[in-house]
């Protein structure tokens, strides 16, 4: 146990924590926890759900062991600190895959449960929590709860999407899917505006498991690239790009990433892709294009950056989108990256799960202090009026009323929260809960 600096993906100033890094599951102990603690996976959340400044923190990096694999039943049990990248390297040798994957593979299984993460296939299969067979939860009173849809059901539903507040997840058993190889067949289509993009989501819904869209928010109207894909069939093998991974070792100077360089990048990205391209690529390059550059968040410099991700019902999306664009213009803030996805109708398992039917837009902004925060407040109003929600995994600033609006079951959730667990995020939003 010692004081170390921890930060999250938004790359804001790192804050001291008294870290406990258990060497194995039996070694987890609460005796050294002073006031409160929170689990820290790989810190790929953008804000403060994984931080507990000046308090304790369980770093799960060494709880990264596989426990059981059942080929026939399509189940794998692993410890909560197992990293998705490693899990997939194992699973693809058996022609299996996780049912849901976020846009980076540098996340832990525990982190994926606690944020009930979604992938590009929500319209087909729901979110991560819809594929958890069971999990074991260690409460600070020492009890180990086996949780599933049949046992300790309420704890199960509170822990999925529970932002790490119900205790420490020790192991998770996941339901897997069968694949025939490690490749994805991809179709990419250049879009000229948002309407065409939305039409493509509707058109491809039935035939494609994975759909996602990248938007160039500098262009008027916003051009983009829509891509959709399916697991490829047959005995083929795609080489992974892992071998040439680059890393950004230190924070970049502030001037490096600016409107101009970003604009140029977006245009190059747009023009370099064919207008209707078909391709077969490794799952890594389809799901995790950004993982090729380790710590790309450092490109934003030492002030860090924000991501704002919201979901609104389908019918509200276009008007919300227009309003959001106006606000961005009004505050004159650059959007460096924007990604649009469609959530389907499948209900999420967790009491605080973010995914729900609608369109979800995620936008990256460099941190510009007050100006950024004011703009997000203006977004909040629009999103709330449309009956939408803001995603805690990407958040570093939402207020308690926005949280309550986004997650109406929070009172029910509080009954299952563990008293010793707390995060900076929770301290911010818990008032009134």
Partner 1 sequence: MSKILILGATSAIAEQFARLYACSENEVLLVARNADSLEEISQDLNVRGYSKTSSISYDFSDVEKATNLIKQCYETLGNIDIVLIAFGTLPDQNEVSLDSNAMHKEILLNYNSIVILLNELANLFEKQKNGTIAVISSVAGDRGRQSNYVYGSAKGGISIFMQGLRNRLAGYNIQILTVKPGFVITPMTDSFEKGLLWVGPDKIARDIKKAINKKKDVLYTPWFWWWIMLIIRFIPEKIFKKMKL
Residues that bind partner 1 (CB under 8 A): 2, 21, 23-27, 62, 65-69, 79, 90, 249-250
Element containing residue 124 per DSSP (H, E): helix 122-125
Answer yes or no whether residue 161 interacts with ligand FAD by CB under 6 A: no
Query: What SS3 state is found at 326?
Result: helix
CB of 23 to partner 1, least distance (A): 5
CB of 146 to partner 1, least distance (A): 18
Please name the residue that has the structure tokens 């304790």. 56
Question: Do the beta carbons of residue 283 and residue 88 sit within 8 Å?
Answer: yes
C-beta closer to ligand FAD: residue 171 or 266 = 171
* Alpha carbons 246 and 253: distance in angstroms, whole number: 18
44, burial (CB in 10 Å: exposed 0-12, middle 13-18, buried 19+) = buried
Q: What is the DSSP string of 191-235?
A: ESSHHHHHHHHHHHTTT-SEEEEEEETTSSS-EEEEEEEEE--SS
Cβ count near 31 (within 10 Å): 5
In the list partner 1, ligand FAD, none, the entry touching 250 (Cβ below 5 to 8 angstroms by class) is partner 1
Answer yes or no whether residue 50 interacts with ligand FAD by CB under 6 A: yes
In the list ligand FAD, partner 1, none, the entry touching 163 (Cβ below 5 to 8 angstroms by class) is ligand FAD
C-beta closer to partner 1: residue 20 or 390 = 20
In the list ligand FAD, partner 1, none, the entry touching 105 (Cβ below 5 to 8 angstroms by class) is none
From 25, 78, 98, 168, residue interacting with ligand FAD (rule: CB under 6 A): 168
DSSP letter at 290 equals G
Q: Computed over its alpha carbons, how large is the radius of gyration of the chain?
A: 21
In the list ligand FAD, partner 1, none, the entry touching 110 (Cβ below 5 to 8 angstroms by class) is ligand FAD
Question: Do the beta carbons of residue 404 and residue 432 sit within 8 Å?
Answer: yes
In the list ligand FAD, partner 1, none, the entry touching 169 (Cβ below 5 to 8 angstroms by class) is ligand FAD
Answer yes or no whether residue 336 interacts with ligand FAD by CB under 6 A: no
From 38, 98, 327, 410, residue interacting with ligand FAD (rule: CB under 6 A): 38
Give the Å distances, CA to CA, from 151 to 76, 113, 134.
19, 17, 9
Question: Count of residues binding ligand FAD (CB under 6 A)?
Answer: 32
* Alpha carbons 432 and 404: distance in angstroms, whole number: 9
CB of 200 to ligand FAD, least distance (A): 19
CB of 93 to partner 1, least distance (A): 8
Answer yes or no whether residue 145 interacts with ligand FAD by CB under 6 A: no
Q: What is the DSSP string of 369-400?
A: THHHHHHHHHHHHHHHHTT-EE-GGG-S---H
Site string (90-119) toward ligand FAD, x via CB under 6 A: ------------xxx--xx-xxx-xx-xx-
Q: What is the binding site for ligand FAD (CB under 6 A)?
A: 9, 38-45, 49-50, 60, 80, 102-104, 107-108, 110-112, 114-115, 117-118, 163-164, 168-169, 290, 393, 423
């Amino acid at each position: 146990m010692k004081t170390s600096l921890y930060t999250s993906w938004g790359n804001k100033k790192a804050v001291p924590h008294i870290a406990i890094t258990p060497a194995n599951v039996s070694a987890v102990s609460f005796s050294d926890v002073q006031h409160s603690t929170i689990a820290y996976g790989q810190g790929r959340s953008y804000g403060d759900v994984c931080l507990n400044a000046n308090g304790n923190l369980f770093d799960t990096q060494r709880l990264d062991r596989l426990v059981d694999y059942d080929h026939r039943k399509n189940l794998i049990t692993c410890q909560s600190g197992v990293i998705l990248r490693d899990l997939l390297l194992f699973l693809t040798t058996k022609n299996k895959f996780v049912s849901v994957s976020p846009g980076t593979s540098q996340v832990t299984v525990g982190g994926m449960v606690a944020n009930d993460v979604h992938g590009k296939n929500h319209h087909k299969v729901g979110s991560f929590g819809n594929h958890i067979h069971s999990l074991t939860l260690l409460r600070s009173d020492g009890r180990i709860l086996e949780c599933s849809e049949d046992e300790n059901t309420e704890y199960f539903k509170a822990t999925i999407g529970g932002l790490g507040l119900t205790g420490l997840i020790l192991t998770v058993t996941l339901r897997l899917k069968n694949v025939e190889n490690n490749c994805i067949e991809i179709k990419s289509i250049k879009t000229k505006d948002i309407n065409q993009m939305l039409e493509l989501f509707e058109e491809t819904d039935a035939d494609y498991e994975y759909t996602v869209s990248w938007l160039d928010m500098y262009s008027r109207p916003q051009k983009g690239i829509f891509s959709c894909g399916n697991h490829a069939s047959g005995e083929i093998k795609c080489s992974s790009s892992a071998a040439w991974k680059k890393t950004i070792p230190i924070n970049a100077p502030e001037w490096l990433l600016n409107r101009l360089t970003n604009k140029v990048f977006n245009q190059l990205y747009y023009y370099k892709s064919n207008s209707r391209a078909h391709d077969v690529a490794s799952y890594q390059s389809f799901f995790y294009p950004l993982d090729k550059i380790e710590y790309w968040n450092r490109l934003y410099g030492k002030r860090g950056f924000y991501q704002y991700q919201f979901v609104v019902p389908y019918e509200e999306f276009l008007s919300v989108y227009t309003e959001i664009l106006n606000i961005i213009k009004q505050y004159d803030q650059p959007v460096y990256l924007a990604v649009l996805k469609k959530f389907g109708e499948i209900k999420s398992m967790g009491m605080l799960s973010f995914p729900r039917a609608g369109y979800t837009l995620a936008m990256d902004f460099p941190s510009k202090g007050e100006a950024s925060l004011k703009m997000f407040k203006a977004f909040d109003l629009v999103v709330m009026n449309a009956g939408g929600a803001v995603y805690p995994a990407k958040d570093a600033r939402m207020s308690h009323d926005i949280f309550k609006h986004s997650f109406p079951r929070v009172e029910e959730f509080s009954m299952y929260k563990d008293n010793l667990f707390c995060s900076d995020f929770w301290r911010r939003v818990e008032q009134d809960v």
